[in-house]
Amino acid sequence: MNWKKISVYAVVALFLISGVGYYFAGLQVYKSATGTNIECNSHKDNLPTEFTINGYGTKISEVGAENMSETAQNLSQFYFDGYENVSIDLEEEDIMISTWIKETNSSRPWVILVHGIRSCKANHEVLLPAGMLVKADFNVVLMDMRDHWKSTIEDNQVSAGQKEWRDMVGVHDYLVNERGVDAEKIGIFGASMGAGTSGIAFSQHGIQAAWLDSPFSNMGDIISEELENLGYPAFLKQAGIIAGIINSGENLVKYDPIDAVENIEGKSIYVVHGAQDSRIQVHHGEEFCNALNQSSGAENTGCWIEDSSITFPRGGDGEDFNLNHITLMLTHTDEYEQRMVGFFEASLA
């Protein structure tokens, strides 16, 4: 019996088995981390004409929240009507982006607002700032990224901005080509994953101004932290990245949102982040701010990092729940409005 040959076959078989196992473990990680929620269940009843502050299925303003501003508990001043339902087809992809468009004044600037992961344009995280902008006579577009709510469901997976940035660019180009808007009068607003996506779109397409609320700065860190949140070991990060490339053709680490700072010449970025954020850790915002402080050639930049969290009873068990992600607009509403509107006024005038 040729034991040497058998040993070689055994090593090859072990390698193949372990390789296949590594791939399927990575595929499980990839699908868990990137799965979307196309129903937008917690927010789908919201409209620009009337919306509530919703946190994980609880209407926060109705249950006695702590640390939420009085303005955020009286939202009616930010409701707006007269918006259009517009479907925008991307030129080079079989993708339709569902939008709500409010044209307040054709001579005024525009802002495109983008929600976070497993969310939609009906979330207060974009409706509230949109209302602030409409109140200040801006034109706004609220959009669903692909694989979210009313837009095209491509594969029911998200790529943390690696492909979704093209959705933002498609809406931006629609305004330029179909509505005749000057590109220098179009800004973008992103919350959470929408902020990361906005950073990539800013970097790749030269958009004039970006307000980034609770962004992630680089993909390597956010993937590791997402795996930790989901209970997966960190060593499976690379397996998940490889599985994503094989399964969907998307490289989850191709673009880093912080690259936007390298392409800021003549343009503007403002970063805001709650110091207690446990969903996207504040070090991401701090890294953005450090990069902005070291950059040159920017027309208008700013950073605002401050303590911010809301405590409220969740569900029927009476136990308190702490919300600390994308909360500056809820705990410091008046200051948020002043800073954001002022930023876009200065950047898009």
- Specify whether 187 is located in the same domain as 96: yes
Domain final residue pick, 238, 254, 270? 254
Structure tokens at 58: 């609880």
Question: pLDDT tier at 20 (50, 70, 90 boundaries)?
Answer: low
- Specify whether 20 is located in the same domain as 124: no
- Specify whether 277 is located in the same domain as 320: yes
Domain final residue pick, 254, 278, 312? 254
HEC string for the chain? CCHHHHHHHHHHHHHHHHHHHHHHHHHHHHHHHHECCCCCCCCCCCECCECCCEECCEEHHHCCCECCCCCCCCHHHHCCCCCEEEEEECCCCCCEEEEEEECCCCCCCEEEEECCCCCCCCCHHHHHHHHHHHHCCCEEEEECCCCCCCCCCCCCECCCCCCCHHHHHHHHHHHHHHCCCCHHHEEEEEECHHHHHHHHHHHHHCCCEEEEECCCCCHHHHHHHHHHHHCCCHHHHHHHHHHHHHHHCCCCCCCCHHHHHHHCCCCEEEEEEECCCCCCCHHHHHHHHHHHHHCCCCCEEEEEEECCCEEEECCCCCCEEEECCCCHHHHCHHHHHHHHHHHHHHHHC
- Specify whether 281 is located in the same domain as 311: yes
The predicted structure's pLDDT at residue 317: 61
Distance between CA 100 and CA 87 in Å, rounded? Answer: 9
Contacts of 293 (CB under 8 A, 6+ apart): 303
- Specify whether 16 is located in the same domain as 140: no
Structure tokens at 248: 């969907």
- Specify whether 169 is located in the same domain as 273: yes
- Specify whether 210 is located in the same domain as 128: yes
How high is the mean pLDDT of the chain? 89
Q: Structurally, how many domains does the chain consist of?
A: 2
Question: pLDDT tier at 16 (50, 70, 90 boundaries)?
Answer: very low
pLDDT per residue over 299-327, tens digit each? 889 999 999 999 998 765 668 899 999 99
Question: pLDDT tier at 2 (50, 70, 90 boundaries)?
Answer: low
pLDDT per residue over 250-271, tens digit each? 788 899 999 999 989 999 999 9
Average pLDDT of the residues in 283-309: 93
Model confidence, pTM: 0.91
Whether the pLDDT of residue 281 is over 90: the answer is yes
- Specify whether 194 is located in the same domain as 162: yes
**How far from 335 is each of 129, 198, 279, CA to CA, in Å?**
12, 22, 23
**Percent of the chain scoring above 70 in pLDDT:** 90
Query: Which among 110, 105, 106 is positioned nearest to 130, based on CA atoms?
Result: 110
Rounding to the nearest 10 degrees, give the CA dihedral for residues 128, 132, 135, 138: -110
pLDDT per residue over 337-347, tens digit each? 999 999 999 99
- Specify whether 88 is located in the same domain as 223: no
- Specify whether 11 is located in the same domain as 149: no
Contacts of 296 (CB under 8 A, 6+ apart): none
pLDDT per residue over 55-73, tens digit each? 888 889 788 899 999 999 9
Structure tokens at 307: 């303590």
Whether the pLDDT of residue 76 is over 80: the answer is yes
- Specify whether 130 is located in the same domain as 226: no
Average pLDDT of the residues in 263-284: 96
Domain final residue pick, 231, 254, 277? 254
* Under 8 Å between Cβ of 23 and 242: yes
Query: Domain containing 103 — which CATH number?
Result: 3.40.50.1820
Distance between CA 199 and CA 188 in Å, rounded? Answer: 9
Domain that holds residue 13: 1-34+219-254
- Specify whether 70 is located in the same domain as 157: yes
